[in-house]
Amino acid sequence: MTNFFNDKSTKDILFFDGSCPMCTKEIKLLEDINDGGLAFMDVHKCEIDDSMPSQLDMLKVLHLRTAEGVWIKGVAATVQAWSHTNWGWVFKPLLWPLINYVAGYAYNIWAEKRYRRLYDCDTCVGNDK
């Protein structure tokens, strides 16, 4: 298990669901094309402490901890992660107010369906740490 918070991180850290084939495919791509300012952590292999969102929350929605220690999630986490690549400019409009509202709504529906499909809701009411 790894806890990135014992060290001062100079990188953004993207927390992802390593049990999700689609997620791991995107992470592999990001690992290959990022500028070195982004680290990756499988939520299933991470020590969760009180300074972090729960494991359940991180499995349900993508989370990113910035190098400054700020937690962001969902669409904003996606945009921040992709900002570490040459393709970041493509994702920036997702933060514009109207687009962000629609993208956030769509992302939340997709994330809930992804979680339920992968975990068949067995952990929906389970221990969230």
pLDDT, tens digit, 9 for 90 and up, residues 65-106 = 999 999 999 999 999 999 999 999 999 999 999 999 999 999
> Which amino acid appears at position 67 of this protein?
A
Residue-wise pLDDT for 25-74, tens only, equals: 999 999 999 999 999 999 999 999 999 999 999 999 999 999 999 999 99
Map residue 111 onto helix, strand or coil.
helix
| 8 Å CB contact between 9 and 41 | no
Domains present along the chain, CATH in parentheses: 4-119 (3.40.30)
What is the distance, to the nearest Å, from the Cα of residue 44 to the centroid of all Cα atoms in its chain?
Answer: 13
pLDDT computed for residue 122 by the predictor: 54
Using pLDDT thresholds of 50, 70 and 90, give the confidence band for residue 2: very low
